A and B are shown apart, each in its own frame.
Chain A
Amino acid sequence: MPRVTLETVDHVARLAHLSLTAQERETFTRQLEQVLAYAESIQALDVSGVEPMSHAAATGVFREDVVREGLPRETVLAAAPDADPESGLFRVPRVLGG
């Protein structure tokens, strides 16, 4: 089993775009370790040659490629925390620099 450290949790939180408090970092480190220790049981199973199951649904469902109306742009923009209906864009804080 991998060793779960504060750095592991920091790394994963960064990947997931989560800012964690100092308290959360420690709690999640301990709990992640606990859950992974429990999940260790599946490491002992022989799964060689077993197909992974990603879905219970039938795969390969097709439909006609026809154009359909989506939601009106104004309706979608109206649900956004910040948007510019004029230009039809979502507005976000600065991406580069700063």
Chain B
Amino acid sequence: MSAGFATAAEIARGVSRGEISAEAVTREHLDIIARRDRGLDAFLTVTAERALAQARAVDASRAARSTLGPLAGVPIAIKDVLDIEGVPTTCGSRMLERYRPPFTATAVARLERAGAIVLGKTNMDEFAMGSSTENSAFKPTRNPWDRSRVPGGSSGGSAVAVSAGMVPVALGTDTGGSIRQPAALCGVVGLKPTYGRVSRYGLVAFASSLDQVGPLTRTVEDAALVTSVLAGVDAADATSAPVEVPDFRAALSEDLASLRVGVPWSFLEHGVEAGVTSAFRVALADLEAAGARIVEIALPHAAHAIATYYIVATAEASSNLARFDGVRYGLRVDAPDLRRMYGETRDRGFGPEVKRRIILGTFVLSAGYYDSYYLRAQQVRTLIRRDFEQAFLSCDVVAMPTTPRPAFRLGEKTSDPLQMYLEDIFTVPANLAGIPGLSLPCGFVDGVPVGFQLLGRPFDETTLFRGGHAYQQRTAHHRAVPPGLE
């Protein structure tokens, strides 16, 4: 195995046993980032000094015989939408180019308390709006499997950092698929936890009723390990759920006897490319071989998920992004009066996709259109959630491809936003319903990775991890390394 592809579980074990120092692990990964990130552009900021200081602190605790956390010495990368005190948080936007938050996101603080070492902040679509990372105001990120293709988005930098062996774990956020879609297109594992499972404190909001923080990793075991650290109620986020957090890793198993996997075949008729369908069918056969039983289910309203999502999400975004007005933080463009200062700051600070979504969101909330768009979309959202409740009466997890196609080429869809939105067809239903989803690599189409996802009942990440882990014990897709990095 080439440098950089050790898992979080292996690194934490090595550091805890004193076989390797956290500082050595940190230096090795910083060195890999310095060499590999040129041309991939997964990172916006590398926090080398801070990382080395934290690694030395982990090594000092070990020397003092203190108990180390479950992620001792594990290098991680953080999507640049989560705050770390004193470190720039740009959200991929000119608006926040020089912003340094005065506090740290709960998700990041929990990882650091468990011994993880943050190596830097990763590139993303501006304010997490996009499916390709091309909407970053600073630079596009490229797919390590084929550099002419996008890595997916909006957590594209995090997916590439993991896929190219620069870190074993990265945090992303998923509002309509922004963890699972780039994970699938880069050949890594990505979990969108149940809404409320992970605190959103310190996450710059896009659509507050849909946003969730979650991990991207190469193995399901690592995703389970990290999620046990991330999850749990937080006094700073009233939507975080007071639900017990199990030791997800301890619950993994290789046997799926009695697991019922529901497949919504008629929903999958929505233009899935042939290669993706055949990789998905093979994955289902692998799950069956591990003891699972495949059953057919129906999600009759899922076909309306894109329309519903782009009304609900943009409405919430237009409201959330009103705070960027040049007064309290971020960019200000000087103008002779307040109103023009607002307009010019927002015109210069936001890129085209963000403006487009603010326009759409403001429209669906405006007088005369609220009932027929926003309210109606919220009602359809209820119907979509009920579809899942109904489905989970006859199955334990729902399986479907994560994306209808493998990664597209840079520039291929930028001129047609609606075509870009339609790529999210299989990921947005889970966000609307608030349920967890785990994307797993399941093969290659045209030499680039594709993935499938398991969706579960609210707060039943345990079953997703069990299914995903058993699948990875029988398959090798997650061990493939991008060309040139072997």
Chain A interface (Cβ < 8 Å from any Cβ of B): 2, 8-9, 11-13, 15-21, 24, 27-28, 31-32, 34-36, 38-43, 45, 47, 50-58, 61, 63, 71, 75-76, 78-82, 90, 92-95, 98
Contacts and interface: CB of A to CB of B under 8 A. Distances in A.
B337 A98 contact: yes
A18 B356 contact: no
A32 B359 contact: yes
A57 B434 contact: yes
Contact of A57 (B195, B301, B376, B385): B195
Given A16-B318, A56-B433, A76-B102, 12 more contacts: A15-B366, A16-B346, A16-B359, A18-B343, A18-B346, A32-B360, A38-B307, A53-B385, A57-B209, A57-B241, A81-B331, A92-B327
Interface in B319-378: 322, 325-332, 334-344, 346-347, 350, 352, 355-356, 358-360, 362-363, 366, 368-369, 372-373, 375-378
B235 A63 contact: yes
Nearest to B421: A35
B241 A43 contact: no
Nearest to B318: A16
Contacts of A55: 209, 239
B139 interface: no
A12 B356 CA distance: 11
Interface of B: 99-103, 195-196, 209-210, 235, 238-239, 241-242, 301, 303-304, 306-308, 310-311, 318, 322, 325-332, 334-344, 346-347, 350, 352, 355-356, 358-360, 362-363, 366, 368-369, 372-373, 375-383, 385, 417-418, 421, 432-434, 458
A5 B353 CA distance: 19
Contact of B328 (A52, A80, A93, A98): A80
Given A35-B417, A57-B195, A94-B336, A80 B329 contact: yes
Given A35-B310, A38-B418, A50-B383, A28 B359 contact: yes
Contacts of A28: 355-356, 359
Nearest to B325: A17
Given A17-B346, A42-B308, A93-B341, A81 B330 contact: yes
B420 to A, nearest CB: 11
Nearest to A37: B418
